[in-house]
């Protein structure tokens, strides 16, 4: 009875966001037994402790919000209860080995989530993937977007990412996979991975930390290289930042606009070609624009939905 209750509480803790019907169902479940609210709180606390043990969430990351229990039902949790809730969460995560778990992020949403095998996935905005953790293999199907994985070592279960035209296999390493309509880019931040074209047109290649491979959708041979600094800059989104090292303003604006409803608009083509250097917060496009106002003598006009950038008419040409 208690185990079933803790497992159901863990299921509710993992559901987010809740639809209107799910919220009604949650309230009904809470009202069905006086111990349900406590079980939900224990599950929430266990999930939060797991998140804190992995890494602190940057402010820009989409909050893994859990449905709050009624205020009148809040109380301090006992250690034993938290352990029981953690066990229930483990049981729920374990279900991912039997059916693919679908995960999708929207515009501006960055999610960091633990996987049942102890690995971590940092999922970029506008990404979609399926996770299937079976007894003999761990498989990720990346339909679109970008994910950085920190893979838990398990030599009995290879960790394979299928990104359509390219595949990656790793054991105890960290790497990113980015899939767009133009192709697939793989970058290694720790350890070593094996990569190959899905159509078996080429041999398996090995990438070490600091190396990358870019597969093009036109089927040409992948381009590989060593660029550890560039790889780290490209993954600054994991910390809610954008690192610029010579990119154009147009390129920076395109990146900012993926994460914010308030869109940056460059009104002057010449201004858009200006190259920038710096580290900026992705969720602060106004602050970015104000920096350009000072450094590039740009004219900035801010409205609720738009931040317009143009050449200052009073600037010397």
DSSP 95: G
Cis peptide before 159 (omega within 30 of 0): no
Q: What is the mean pLDDT of residues 144-148?
A: 97
pLDDT at position 79 over 80:
no
Q: Can you give the pLDDT at residue 156?
A: 86
**Residues sharing a CB contact under 8 Å with residue 34, sequence separation 6 or more, in sequence order:** none
pTM over 0.75: no
Q: What is the mean pLDDT of residues 35-41?
A: 74
Compute the chain's Rg from CA coordinates.
Answer: 23
DSSP β-bridge partners for residue 132: 139
Q: Can you give the pLDDT at residue 317?
A: 46
pLDDT at position 73 over 60:
no
Q: How confident is the model at residue 43 (pLDDT cuts 50, 70, 90)?
A: low
Interatomic CA distance for residues 99 and 131, integer angstroms? 8
Q: Can you give the pLDDT at residue 162?
A: 96
| Most distant pair of Cα atoms in the chain: their distance | 77
DSSP assignments along 111-153, one per residue: EEEE-TTS-EEEE-TT-EEEEEE-SS-EEEEEEEEEEEEEPPP
189 and 176 in contact (C-beta within 8 Å)?
yes
Digit-coded pLDDT (tens) for 89-105: 444 444 333 346 899 99
Digit-coded pLDDT (tens) for 172-196: 899 999 999 999 999 999 999 999 9
- The average confidence (pLDDT) of the chain is 80
Residue 306 sits at φ, ψ, to 5 deg, of -145, 145
């Amino acid at each position: 009875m208690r185990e079933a209750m803790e497992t159901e509480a863990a299921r509710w803790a993992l559901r987010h966001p809740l639809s209107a019907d799910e919220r009604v169902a949650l309230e009904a479940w809470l009202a069905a037994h006086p111990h349900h609210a406590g079980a939900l709180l224990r599950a929430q606390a266990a999930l939060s402790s797991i998140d804190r043990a992995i890494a602190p969430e940057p402010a820009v990351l989409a909050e893994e919000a859990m449905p709050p229990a009624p205020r009148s039902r809040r109380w301090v949790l006992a250690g034993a209860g938290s352990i029981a809730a953690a066990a229930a969460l483990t049981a729920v995560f374990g279900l991912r080995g039997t059916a693919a778990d679908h995960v999708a992020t929207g515009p501006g949403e960055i999610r960091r989530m633990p996987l049942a095998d102890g690995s971590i996935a940092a999922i970029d905005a506008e990404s979609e993937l399926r996770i299937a953790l079976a007894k003999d293999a761990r498989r990720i199907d990346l339909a679109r977007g970008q994910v950085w994985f920190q893979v838990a070592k398990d030599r009995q279960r290879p960790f394979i990412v299928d990104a359509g035209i390219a595949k990656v296999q790793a054991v105890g390493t960290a790497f990113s996979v980015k899939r767009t309509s133009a192709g697939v880019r793989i970058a290694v931040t720790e350890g070593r991975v094996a990569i190959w074209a899905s159509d078996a047109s080429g041999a398996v290649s090995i990438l070490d930390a600091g190396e990358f491979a870019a597969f093009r959708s036109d089927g040409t041979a992948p381009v590989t290289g060593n660029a550890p600094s560039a790889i780290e800059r490209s993954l600054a989104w994991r910390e809610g930042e954008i690192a610029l090292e010579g990119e154009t303003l147009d390129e920076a604006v395109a990146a900012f606009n993926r994460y914010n409803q308030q869109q940056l608009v460059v009104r002057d083509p010449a201004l858009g070609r200006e190259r920038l250097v710096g580290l900026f917060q992705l969720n602060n496009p106004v602050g970015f624009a104000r920096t350009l106002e000072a450094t590039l003598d740009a004219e900035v006009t801010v409205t609720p939905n738009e931040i317009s950038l143009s050449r200052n008419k009073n600037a010397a040409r």
